[in-house]
């Protein structure tokens, strides 16, 4: 089963996240199938390719709650 979730990048107290599609059983920062965008919580920047996101939803990928919130609020 595929999940759309966040993968951590950046320094310890300056985290940034990538929005990625990966196997549910793989590690958080492990192997990914596709990268959809990024989220920088400190600068409040979000960029997600919504067309690609909808494609993966159509293929059966399940987003996590945080990713759904980011998409819905459009932050």
* Total-model pTM: 0.89
Residue 54 belongs to a domain with what CATH number?
A: 3.30.1320.10
**Domains of the chain: total:** 1
CA angle 68, 69, 70 (to 5 degrees): 90
- Domain span at residue 29 reads 2-73
Encode pLDDT of 8-56 as tens digits: 999 999 999 999 999 999 988 889 999 999 999 999 999 999 999 999 9
Structure token pair of residue 75: 């932050």
Task: Look at residue 75 in the predicted model and tell me its pLDDT.
Answer: 57
Angstrom distance (rounded) from CA 29 to CA 74: 24
- By C-alpha distance, which of 29, 40, 39, 33 is closest to 68? 39
Task: Look at residue 29 in the predicted model and tell me its pLDDT.
Answer: 87
């Amino acid at each position: 089963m595929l999940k759309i979730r966040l993968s951590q990048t950046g320094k310890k107290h300056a985290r940034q996240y990538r929005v990625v599609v990966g196997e549910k059983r793989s590690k958080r920062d492990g192997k990914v199938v596709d990268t959809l965008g990024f989220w920088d919580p400190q600068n409040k920047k979000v960029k997600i390719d919504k067309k690609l996101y909808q494609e993966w939803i159509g293929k059966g990928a399940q987003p996590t709650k945080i990713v759904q919130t980011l998409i819905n609020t459009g932050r």
